[in-house]
């Protein structure tokens, strides 16, 4: 016989059991608090604030409105309200960015016991400096968009690329973060590019040096290391790694700040899955690196590097081989 349970009884909260479970929360909270005093656990409990990742994400969204006016603007943008809208956007970014730059510098000063560097004034000065560079960043991004369109028959318009291509978003965030990195701003540039990484699957270190007309097609799994140098007109596809050779354990400080990643000269194409490693590795101009190639040595300009074609095995349960049947069809 099937026992029928009333829905009301099954869903009713057992207040006694819930109270017993909740009564354990203060003890758990105390145990968590105890770990805050453990130097082996990472904690920031201090009167001095640190940068806010959520604010950095909002800054990126606001910068998109400035870098691509009209595409990501909140509301309609036309010739009549352009001046007002751009002024408002610039003022908002200035206020938010100067605060986060100041917090980043202040955080480094206190954490590493550095002398006072007037972080608030530096925040205002460097935020203004970045905004002054927006026209040149926009011109460089225009070459990236044009190169994406010219090399992709699937793209129907520049608008499609700006709105929807993950490569353009990752490159745009990188070009802003790279400026801040060169200004010497700590933390903030990496927060920016790692946010783009989390959204697109494209990992570009803000310290990389990348020329104009740069294209990342598809993009998922692309890794571009800190000391990578990329020339003009370079195109790379998904799952490409421009990385460093492995280093001995616990030797990070020894290699920090040194050239560890490859140099890619102008007009190089790197196809999906290729891995190029090492600070001494130079890929000469106009070279083509085939899919899944592994390179740790330099190649001269105008060189094509591919893997030898693997031998494919065809199996079929039919008397005729799968290859014979395929040939018959075509």
Q: Are residues 77 and 110 in the same domain?
A: yes
Total number of domains in the chain: 2
Residue 216 CA to residue 286 CA, distance in Å, equals: 17
Q: Is residue 1 part of a domain?
A: no
Q: Is residue 11 part of a domain?
A: no
Residue 100 burial (CB count, 10 A) = 26
Q: Which residue has the tokens 């490159």?
A: 171
Mutual angle of helices 53-67 and 134-150, in 10-degree steps:
70
Residues 196 and 253 in one domain: no
Are 178 and 235 part of one and the same domain? no
Q: The domain spanning residue 186 has which CATH number?
A: 1.10.3130.10
Report the pLDDT averaged over residues 244-255: 77
Residues 175 and 77 in one domain: yes
User: pLDDT digits over 156-189, tens only?
Assistant: 999 999 999 999 999 999 999 999 999 999 999 9
> What is the pTM assigned to this prediction?
0.86
C-beta separation of 288 from 269 below 8 A: yes
Question: Residue 48's pLDDT is what?
Answer: 75
Other CB atoms within a 10 A radius of the CB of residue 138 amount to 15
Residue 4 clears pLDDT 60, i.e. is over it: no
pLDDT number for residue 328: 56
- Can you tell me the mean pLDDT for 260-278? 98
What integer is the mean pLDDT of 237-252? Answer: 86
Check whether 109 has a pLDDT greater than 90. Answer: no
Structure confidence by residue, pLDDT tens digits, 253-264: 777 878 999 999
CATH code: domain of residue 233: 2.160.10.10
**Alpha-carbon distance values, 307 to 62, 219, 232, 261 (Å):** 44, 22, 26, 22
Q: Which domain holds residue 322?
A: 208-330
Domain-terminating residue out of 145, 180, 204: 204
Residues 212 and 193 in one domain: no
Least confident stretch, 157-171, 264-278, 298-312: 298-312
- CA atoms within a 13 Å half-sphere pointing along the CA-CB vector of 28: 5
Per-residue pLDDT, 40: 85
The yes-or-no verdict on residue 15 having pLDDT over 60 is yes
Query: What pLDDT does 59 receive?
Result: 98
């Amino acid at each position: 016989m099937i026992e029928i349970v009333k829905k009301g009884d099954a869903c009713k909260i057992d207040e006694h059991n819930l109270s017993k479970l909740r009564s354990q929360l203060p003890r758990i909270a105390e145990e968590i608090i105890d770990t805050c005093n453990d130097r082996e656990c990472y904690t920031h409990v201090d009167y001095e604030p640190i940068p806010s990742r959520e604010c950095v994400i909002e800054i990126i969204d606001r910068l998109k409105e400035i870098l691509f006016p009209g595409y990501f603007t909140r509301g309609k943008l036309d010739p009549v309200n352009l001046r007002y809208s751009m002024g408002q956007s610039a003022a908002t970014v200035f206020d938010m960015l100067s605060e986060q730059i100041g917090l980043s510098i202040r955080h480094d000063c206190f954490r590493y016991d550095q002398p006072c560097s007037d972080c608030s004034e530096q925040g205002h000065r460097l935020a203004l400096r970045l905004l002054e560079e927006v026209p040149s960043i926009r011109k460089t991004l225009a070459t990236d968009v044009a190169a994406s369109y010219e090399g992709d028959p699937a793209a129907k318009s520049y608008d499609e690329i700006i709105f929807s291509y993950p490569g353009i978003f990752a490159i745009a965030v990188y070009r802003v973060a790279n400026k801040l990195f060169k200004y010497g701003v700590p933390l903030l540039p990496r927060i920016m590019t790692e946010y783009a990484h989390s959204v697109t699957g494209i990992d570009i270190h803000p310290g990389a040096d990348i020329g104009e007309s740069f294209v990342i097609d598809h993009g998922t799994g692309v890794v571009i290391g800190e000391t990578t140098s990329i020339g003009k007109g370079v195109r790379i596809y998904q799952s490409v790694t421009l990385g460093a050779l492995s280093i001995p354990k616990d030797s990070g400080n020894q290699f920090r700040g040194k050239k560890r990643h490859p140099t890619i000269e102008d007009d190089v194409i790197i196809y999906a899955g290729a891995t190029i490693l090492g600070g001494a590795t130079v890929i000469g101009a106009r070279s083509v690196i085939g899919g899944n190639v592994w390179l740790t040595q330099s190649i001269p300009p105008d060189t094509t590097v591919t893997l030898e074609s693997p031998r494919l095995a065809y199996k079929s349960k039919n008397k005729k081989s799968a290859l014979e049947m395929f040939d018959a069809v075509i």
